[in-house]
């Protein structure tokens, strides 16, 4: 017997979605404008700014992924919370108490968040200490105490969640479950302990660095290059190759981590996926060389 509860997602997804679209449009504007300008230094600066904005876009996309994958699962043995690439499993016997925030006279100091409608962080709260927030709506928040730690969650149906918890707590546990905690740092340590994964990811990082360096050299030392359409274009457009390599590198790395966490495929397939990053970067470097000749 298990009960899955989900947070309210609409407002969070709309806010983060709009922010992601705006960031994406700005990136496109910088990349397209930079690739059309004849002045190499200005064009290269605009394209580099566009490339730098890819990082916040990836963070926004990951936050949307985190919101979509947030689940609070209750059964007789444990409370399990999964979100993004993270997971917390707390045995039922270790839960001291669970109370809606509305039960307390003092409001929970949430502080400021850039990504409104989504509170996924660990912060120091006076009277509670380090508190892990896995929530979207402040008015739906529930405070969970286990041992010396506190969690804040926000199931859409607060009353239903509390009823499920009280019913399961009275029924008692069927098996002895231990505390489990998985985060991105632990996942990365697991991956880095794999010799083949470590070699491939290191080689992928080196090949991406060489691709970005080659793109910068070509865009700053040449006036024009031969584009894939066999016409001469401003050399700053070479930076688009770095963007392509960075995009595929980030997508492949994230997908591989997700598969590593879920153990859905054999290790050699994950390594093959990460290995395509190296191949793509090498191909793009050769393309740059031919364009610049």
Cα(87)–Cα(182) distance, integer angstroms: 5
* Section 213-226 average pLDDT: 84
Cα(66)–Cα(82) distance, integer angstroms: 9
Q: Which of 238, 246, 242, 239 is nearest to 277 (CA)?
A: 246
* Section 88-110 average pLDDT: 87
- In the chain, the percentage of residues whose pLDDT exceeds 70 is 92
The C-alpha angle with vertex 165 and arms to 169 and 144, in degrees rounded to 5, equals 105
One DSSP character per residue, 114-142 reads SSTT-EEEEEEETTTEEEEEEES-GGG-E
Cα 292 to its chain centre, rounded Å, is 36
Run of H or E residues at 180: strand 180-182
Cα(249)–Cα(205) distance, integer angstroms: 8
The whole-number pLDDT of residue 270 equals: 74
Q: How would you label 151-171 residue by residue, b for 16+ Cβ within 10 Å and e otherwise?
A: bbbbbbebeebeebbeebbee
The whole-number pLDDT of residue 126 equals: 81
Residue 188 has pLDDT above 90, yes or no: no
Average pLDDT, the chain: 84
pLDDT band at 74 (very low <50, low <70, confident <90, very high): very high
The whole-number pLDDT of residue 228 equals: 65
Q: Within a 10 A sphere around the Cβ of 137, how many other Cβ atoms? A: 19
Question: pLDDT tens digit string along 271-282?
Answer: 777 888 898 888
Residue 259 has pLDDT above 80, yes or no: no
Higher model confidence: residue 42 or residue 134?
Answer: 134
Q: Which of 3, 130, 135 is nearest to 66 (CA)?
A: 135
Residue 29 has pLDDT above 70, yes or no: yes
pLDDT band at 224 (very low <50, low <70, confident <90, very high): confident
Tokens of 258: 């997700």
The whole-number pLDDT of residue 279 equals: 87
- Name every residue whose Cβ is closer than 8 Å to that of residue 229 and which is 6 or more positions away in sequence: none
The whole-number pLDDT of residue 152 equals: 94
Cα(64)–Cα(55) distance, integer angstroms: 14
Q: Are 77 and 265 in contact (CB under 8 A)?
A: no
Q: Are 289 and 265 in contact (CB under 8 A)?
A: no
Question: pLDDT tens digit string along 50-71?
Answer: 888 988 998 898 899 899 999 9
Question: pLDDT tens digit string along 157-178?
Answer: 999 999 999 988 888 777 887 8
């Amino acid at each position: 017997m298990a009960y899955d509860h989900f947070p309210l997602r609409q407002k969070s997804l709309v806010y983060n979605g709009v922010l992601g679209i705006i960031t994406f449009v700005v990136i496109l504007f910088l990349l397209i404008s930079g690739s059309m300008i004849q002045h190499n230094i200005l064009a290269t600066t605009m394209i580099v700014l566009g490339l730098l904005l890819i990082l916040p876009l990836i963070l926004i996309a990951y936050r949307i992924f985190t919101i979509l994958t947030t689940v609070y699962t209750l059964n007789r043995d444990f409370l399990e919370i999964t979100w993004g690439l993270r997971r917390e499993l707390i045995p039922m016997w270790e839960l001291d108490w669970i109370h809606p925030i509305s039960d307390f006279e003092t409001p929970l100091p949430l502080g400021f968040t850039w990504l409104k409608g989504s509170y996924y962080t660990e912060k120091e709260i006076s009277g509670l200490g380090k508190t892990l927030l896995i929530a979207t709506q402040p008015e739906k928040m529930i405070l969970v105490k286990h041992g010396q730690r506190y969690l804040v969650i926000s199931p859409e149906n607060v009353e239903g969640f509390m009823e499920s918890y009280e019913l399961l707590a009275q029924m008692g546990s069927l098996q002895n479950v231990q505390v489990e905690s998985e985060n991105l740092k632990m996942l990365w340590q697991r991956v880095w302990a794999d010799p083949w994964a470590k070699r491939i990811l290191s080689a992928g990082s080196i090949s991406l660095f060489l691709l970005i360096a080659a793109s910068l050299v070509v865009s700053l030392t040449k006036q024009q290059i031969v584009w894939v359409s066999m016409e001469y274009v401003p050399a700053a457009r070479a930076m688009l190759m770095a963007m392509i390599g960075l995009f595929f590198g980030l997508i492949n790395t994230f997908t591989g981590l997700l598969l590593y966490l879920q153990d859905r495929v054999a290790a050699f397939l994950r390594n093959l996926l990460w290995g395509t990053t190296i191949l793509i970067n090498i191909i793009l470097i050769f393309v740059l060389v031919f364009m610049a000749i």
